[in-house]
Amino acid sequence: MKHQDLIDACQDDWQAYTHHHFVAQLAQGSLPSTAYLHYLKQDFLFLKHYARAYALAIYKATTLEEMRRPLPSLQALIGSEMHHHVTYCQQWGLTESDMEAEAEDVGTVAYTRYVLDTGMAGDLTDLFTALAPCAIGYAMIGERLIKAPDTRIQGNPYASWIQLYGGDSFQHDVQTSIQHLDELLEPVSLVSPRGQQLINIFRTATRMEIAFWQQGLDAA
Amino acid sequence: MKHQDLIDACQDDWQAYTHHHFVAQLAQGSLPSTAYLHYLKQDFLFLKHYARAYALAIYKATTLEEMRRPLPSLQALIGSEMHHHVTYCQQWGLTESDMEAEAEDVGTVAYTRYVLDTGMAGDLTDLFTALAPCAIGYAMIGERLIKAPDTRIQGNPYASWIQLYGGDSFQHDVQTSIQHLDELLEPVSLVSPRGQQLINIFRTATRMEIAFWQQGLDAA
Amino acid sequence: MKHQDLIDACQDDWQAYTHHHFVAQLAQGSLPSTAYLHYLKQDFLFLKHYARAYALAIYKATTLEEMRRPLPSLQALIGSEMHHHVTYCQQWGLTESDMEAEAEDVGTVAYTRYVLDTGMAGDLTDLFTALAPCAIGYAMIGERLIKAPDTRIQGNPYASWIQLYGGDSFQHDVQTSIQHLDELLEPVSLVSPRGQQLINIFRTATRMEIAFWQQGLDAA
Amino acid sequence: MKHQDLIDACQDDWQAYTHHHFVAQLAQGSLPSTAYLHYLKQDFLFLKHYARAYALAIYKATTLEEMRRPLPSLQALIGSEMHHHVTYCQQWGLTESDMEAEAEDVGTVAYTRYVLDTGMAGDLTDLFTALAPCAIGYAMIGERLIKAPDTRIQGNPYASWIQLYGGDSFQHDVQTSIQHLDELLEPVSLVSPRGQQLINIFRTATRMEIAFWQQGLDAA
């Protein structure tokens, strides 16, 4: 099977995730800033556990090649992405200590710990399947928004979000991740119990992404 | 420190959990049955991961005594409690396959995976601190409801819930758990960084319990 | 693939394990008692981590059926086997505190932690493959010794060891374990990378069993 | 307590480790090259799991600072140290594929999996205590050999080993690790059960280091 089979198998949840109201309002610039600020703070807390998941992938590796693969993501996350996130958030009046002091909201706990527990209890394919909706979904959203004629860029306070996730660098990184996932999925048959188990993981992680958007809107 | 210090340190969340509308409506018998059925199905899924947490405690043990301690709970959970839960749910028209087919709601994922990840990343004290709000909270709620003059038992469709958690057997088991937790907490100073870390774990788990009640109400 | 494929793939190590001098001397009653006592003490320490591995299997389970399966072994190990072991060792002048105070020898550390780490990093099939040489090997040795015309039972101080592992109860339990392992291995092709990985795990665990016998002899 | 308390508490094992015959023969240049080659190959396999242990430390971190701390070691191990090791081994006629194809010897399995399982079952202090004998011991050996008047450098085929571990760069890195360990140990009382537990971990890891040297000599 391939990553597209995972997406196809949970179309309703995938649509609800990638076409969430949060995303639509972001594209239009109509998202309340309280919703966006809540999202930013939770995303900072999310990134920490996301980095832990990449460290887990190295712990779980059996070959040197498998160990080397997640290292750039881990370095990027701890070394630069969280730093960039902090810098970016300063524009919104949020300091690093604001974000560290923030309590993790339910959707943040649900998604991050689901990935970590699924990865710990299962194998590398389970782990990367649980991580996949995040990267793939953000890339699909970014690409769609940046190309859509009705996306507002000028005067949109969220334009930089759209440009980040629609930009070449992020799109390229996600293609690399997708290729890796497809290699992991290659020996698995879609209709086998194992294939159905992976679909269930992907679907659950996608549903947690929906909850993550929703908790942003609920904070407004 | 002792378990009471954990409760005292997060009074607002503790009150919101133990005096949640879900509980009040349950005591009055006014809870919509759709809310209760959703809660029952999610509680079944919850118990599975709760049992996994007790298995994790045995994996994490260093002495034979530490290994023996969680075993009765694990046996009870897998051997009888889940069976009783299934039997009880049949009265409400729910079959075991209904419950196994049910998707885990966000609050269920959040609470269970938070406990499991906290326990895996930390030590046995972290694990049992994350588990504590469930047992202690249910015991406090059960005891309060069964003694409260305005709790409705007769004709209350949820009377058996109140009798289970307010009953001697559950109350006794929780006292044993509390004693164990107090032993684990004994060497930790409340004002130390470690003490604050444990408070944070207890508070987060308590907040996830609030979300668990809420998702029941939201389903109505 | 099936469990027999694992054995066939590492015949040299398998022979070295199941036909080790320790075993031959045990069958003849010529094993120095110092060797046997060291083995008994290390086996006690081994059982503790063996029980942890069964707890890990429950933590790693995704279905209720998978959770229920390792429970009897875990209960037996913590509840009765370690107790029997202590009682049996008393005949040899060893108390429980003697055994708890004993330092784990290198072979004991190597085998037990290999199983636990392989199981944690991998999935349930990895875990049960790492556990397999112990049960299958002891069953093969026990069956062979009890049937061999040149095994000495009368006057052999180690007769009860042979009767335990060659006896119906142990043989039956191992058949159940083998059936479970065969179910786990069924979807894996022997010639696939995954099949080769499982062979490597089985071979490494078998080599650690050889080291476990050898450390007994080395203590004489 | 401090790291020196750990060393003081297991002086016999510590001496047996840091003054092992393998080390003495290395200092004199009299170590059989077969012993050294076996050691080099096993050390390569060791480094892989050593890197996994640093990844585990990141997974186990609760603060960003704790996550950042093990990252340079992890990067160095996967990114350069294993590469240097391969280059160095080429001088001894060993290719990377030779080393990857090598079976892990019992001492290698014992030490690496002990660290990983102790770290997974326990907390960060357990993990870094289990890792400590390696770094601290090599630094002590390196420093002693490079200063000892009777160490042979000229014409010693193992001079580069002595220069690596006695050199400023390695010595400096270990000082940083020791400082980190001392911070972790600071809240623990030497005479508490927790202090004794950490001593036991440090002693067991030290004994596994002895086995690691010995398996080099045994290969000669």
Of B59, B60, B121, the CB nearest to D60: B121
Rg of chain D on CA atoms, in Å: 17
Domains, in order of start, for chain D: 3-18+32-218 (1.20.910.10)
> What pLDDT score was predicted for residue C110?
98
Cα distance from C174 to chain D (closest Cα, Å)?
A: 26
Mean pLDDT of chain C: 95
Q: D interface mutation test: which of B63, B116, B123 has the most D CBs within 10 A?
A: B123
Cα distance from B183 to chain D (closest Cα, Å)?
A: 13
> What pLDDT score was predicted for residue A29?
97
Which residues fall within 8 angstroms of residue A139, CB to CB, at 6 or more apart?
A165, A170, A171, A174, A175
The whole-angstrom distance between residue A15's C-alpha and the CA centroid of its chain comes to 15
> What pLDDT score was predicted for residue D64?
87
Is the pLDDT score of A30 beyond 90?
Answer: yes
Is the pLDDT score of B82 beyond 90?
Answer: no
| pLDDT tens-digit readout, B152-197 | 999 999 999 999 999 999 999 999 999 999 999 999 999 999 999 9
Structure tokens that stand for D207 in this block: 């004994």
Residues of A in contact with C59 (CB under 8 A): 121
Q: How confident is the model at residue B206 (pLDDT cuts 50, 70, 90)?
A: very high
What percent of chain A has a predicted confidence (pLDDT) above 70? 100
> What pLDDT score was predicted for residue B64?
87
> What pLDDT score was predicted for residue A68?
92
Q: D interface mutation test: which of C111, C114, C199 has the most D CBs within 10 A?
A: C114
Distance CA B11, CA C146 (A): 66
Residues of A in contact with D71 (CB under 8 A): 74-75, 78-79
Q: B144 in contact with D at a CB cutoff of 8 Å?
A: no
Which residues fall within 8 angstroms of residue C188, CB to CB, at 6 or more apart?
C1, C125, C194, C195, C198
Test B120 with D120 for CB contact under 8 angstroms. Answer: yes
Q: C interface mutation test: which of B56, B64, B66 has the most C CBs within 10 A?
A: B64
Placement of tokens 């508070």 in the chain: B203
Q: A120 in contact with C at a CB cutoff of 8 Å?
A: yes
Distance CA B130, CA B6 (A): 11
Q: D207 in contact with C at a CB cutoff of 8 Å?
A: yes
Is the pLDDT score of C192 beyond 90?
Answer: yes
Q: Supply the ipTM of this predicted assembly.
A: 0.95
Q: D192 in contact with B at a CB cutoff of 8 Å?
A: yes
| pLDDT tens-digit readout, B108-135 | 999 999 999 999 999 999 999 999 999 9
Test A58 with D61 for CB contact under 8 angstroms. Answer: no
Residues of C in contact with A60 (CB under 8 A): 121-122
User: SS3 for B26?
Assistant: helix
Q: A86 in contact with D at a CB cutoff of 8 Å?
A: no
Q: Taking the C-alpha atoms of D53, D56, D57 and D60 in order, what is their torsion angle to the nearest 10 degrees?
A: -160
What percent of chain C has a predicted confidence (pLDDT) above 90? 86
Task: Chunk chain D into consecutive blocks of 10 residues (it has 220) and report each block's average pLDDT, rounded to whole numbers.
Answer: 98 98 98 95 94 98 92 89 84 84 96 98 98 97 97 95 95 96 97 96 98 96
User: SS3 for C153?
Assistant: coil
Q: C131 in contact with B at a CB cutoff of 8 Å?
A: no
Question: Among residues 34-63 of chain C, which lie with CB inside 8 Å of chain D?
Answer: 52
Residues of D in contact with C106 (CB under 8 A): 106-107, 110, 207-208, 211
Specify whether A134 is catalytic.
yes
Of C103, C110, C120, the CB nearest to D109: C110
Counting every residue, how long is chain D?
Answer: 220
Cα distance from A110 to chain B (closest Cα, Å)?
A: 4
Residues of C in contact with A122 (CB under 8 A): 60, 62, 123
Q: C76 in contact with B at a CB cutoff of 8 Å?
A: no
Cα distance from D111 to chain C (closest Cα, Å)?
A: 7
What percent of chain B has a predicted confidence (pLDDT) above 90? 86
Q: Given the residues B134, B143, B183, B186, select the one marked as catalytic.
A: B134
Distance CA C36, CA D154 (A): 49
Q: Taking the C-alpha atoms of D195, D196, D198 and D199 in order, what is their torsion angle to the nearest 10 degrees?
A: 120
> What pLDDT score was predicted for residue D175?
97
Mean pLDDT of the B33-43 span: 94
Cα distance from D180 to chain C (closest Cα, Å)?
A: 25
Specify whether C134 is catalytic.
yes
CA angle A68, A73, A76 (to 5 degrees): 125
List of long-range contacts for A89-95, beta carbons under 8 Å, 24+ apart: A89/A40, A89/A41, A89/A44, A92/A33, A92/A36, A92/A37, A92/A40, A94/A37, A94/A40, A94/A41
Is the pLDDT score of C91 beyond 90?
Answer: no
Q: A interface mutation test: which of D54, D64, D83 has the most A CBs within 10 A?
A: D64
> What pLDDT score was predicted for residue A96?
83
> What pLDDT score was predicted for residue B179?
97
> What pLDDT score was predicted for residue B100?
82
Is the pLDDT score of B210 beyond 90?
Answer: yes
One-letter amino acid of B90: Q
Distance CA C155, CA C167 (A): 18
Q: C64 in contact with A at a CB cutoff of 8 Å?
A: no
| pLDDT tens-digit readout, A97-112 | 888 889 999 999 999 9
| pLDDT tens-digit readout, C76-89 | 898 778 887 888 88
User: SS3 for C32?
Assistant: coil
Distance CA C123, CA D178 (A): 35
**Interface chains of chain D (3 or more CB pairs under 8 Å):** A, B, C
> What pLDDT score was predicted for residue C101?
83
| pLDDT tens-digit readout, B85-101 | 888 888 888 888 888 88
Which residues fall within 8 angstroms of residue C92, CB to CB, at 6 or more apart?
C33, C36, C37, C40
| pLDDT tens-digit readout, B128-156 | 999 999 999 999 999 999 999 999 999 99
Is the pLDDT score of B79 beyond 90?
Answer: no
Of B107, B113, B211, the CB nearest to A117: B113
Q: D194 in contact with B at a CB cutoff of 8 Å?
A: yes
Q: B86 in contact with C at a CB cutoff of 8 Å?
A: no
Q: C187 in contact with A at a CB cutoff of 8 Å?
A: yes
Under 8 Å between Cβ of A70 and D77: no
Mean pLDDT of chain A: 95
Residues of D in contact with B60 (CB under 8 A): 121-122
Test C120 with A120 for CB contact under 8 angstroms. Answer: yes
Rg of chain A on CA atoms, in Å: 17
Mean pLDDT of the B78-82 span: 81
Q: What is the 3-state secondary structure (H, E, C) of chain A?
A: CCHHHHHHHCHHHHHHHHCCHHHHHHHHCCCCHHHHHHHHHHHHHHHHHHHHHHHHHHHCCCCHHHHHCCHHHHHHHHHHHHHHHHHHHHHCCCCHHHHHHCCCCHHHHHHHHHHHHHHHHCCHHHHHHHHHHHHHHHHHHHHHHHHCCCCCCCCCCCHHHHHHHHCHHHHHHHHHHHHHHHHHHCCCCCCCHHHHHHHHHHHHHHHHHHHHHHHHHHCC
> What pLDDT score was predicted for residue D87?
85
Distance CA A115, CA A131 (A): 6
**Interface chains of chain A (3 or more CB pairs under 8 Å):** B, C, D
Of C48, C59, C64, the CB nearest to B55: C59
C-beta neighbour count of A41 within 10 angstroms:
24
Nearest CA in chain A to D75: A71
> What pLDDT score was predicted for residue D161?
94
> What pLDDT score was predicted for residue D98?
80
